[in-house]
Amino acid sequence: MKQILSVQNPLIKQCKKLKAKKYREEQGQFLIDGQHLLQEAISAQLSLEYIFYDPNRCDPPQNTDAECIECSEEIIRALSDTPSPQGIIAVAEMPNEPDSDLSAGRYVLLDDVQDPGNVGTIIRTAEVLGMTGVVLGEHCADVYSSKTIRSTQGALFHIPILRRNLQAFTEELHQHHIPLLATAMNGESLEEAEVPLNFAILFGNEGKGVSPALLDKAAQLLTIPMAGKTESLNVTVAAGIVLYRLHSKR
């Protein structure tokens, strides 16, 4: 059983760099922090390279081919982004993007959603409500940051995530006759609207909403009926309501 006790160990120093997006993209790897997320990754058969664990806090998982390395609490702290890490952190390979068969499906498109917690929460909701995949535009928060992953509660391992230029992707959808839906103030009532079986639904930036150039391409606009003085819902809540409604209309 391999053991590392110094944060100065070259492998630890290298893995610690995966806290930065640039290095994650270069390496095609990312960190998975904590027992629950790790089990979700294993159950989804994600490829794991190393598992670092503090033997005073937990046992290494049995059901993995990853190299399990005993290490100190200090090393776990160095690798973690949370104030009280659980004592286990893995290095995982980013999964290959699935071939998206755009002949059918129910896609969630995120345009410039900035907050990693929001991106993660919408991925979690999309997975729970049976969507086919989530497509992140180029300016969204990184799906492999620790905060995004934590907010997904592991859902990102169970649903295809694509990263695309959304202008180009909406063209592709159009060619495949998959209609683009979006939410807007003056659309059809979400409750009354007839929705197609296959679709892509677009959600936008926390402050500015969906960019006008993309909104122009929407075939159908949906409105969540509102009864109060506050002008809008949080984007994760709006997405939750719309995805629930579309899911229940199947």
Give the other-Cβ count within 10 Å of 79's Cβ. 23
Q: Which is nearer to a copy of itself, 136 or 156 (CB)?
A: 156
Copy the structure tokens of residue 97.
């993007």
x-or-dash string of contact with a copy of itself, 168-207, rule CB under 8 A: -----------------------x----------------
Q: Per CB under 8 A, which of residues 54..113 are in contact with a copy of itself? A: none
Q: Does 238 bind a copy of itself (CB under 8 A)?
A: yes
Q: Per CB under 8 A, which of residues 109..168 are in contact with a copy of itself? A: 117, 121, 124-125, 127-130, 151-155, 158-159
List, as own/partner pairs, every contact residues 233-237 make where C-beta atoms lie below 8 angstroms and the sequence separation is at least 24, other chains included. Answer: 234/118, 234/206, 235/113, 235/118, 235/122, 235/203, 235/204, 235/205, 235/206, 236/118, 236/121, 236/122, 236/125
Q: Which is nearer to a copy of itself, 78 or 161 (CB)?
A: 161
Round to whole Å and give the CA distance between 25 and 209: 27
Q: Which is nearer to a copy of itself, 15 or 135 (CB)?
A: 135
Round to whole Å and give the CA distance between 92 and 161: 16
Return residues touching a copy of itself (CB under 8 A): 43, 117, 121, 124-125, 127-130, 151-155, 158-159, 191, 224-234, 236-241, 244-245, 247-248
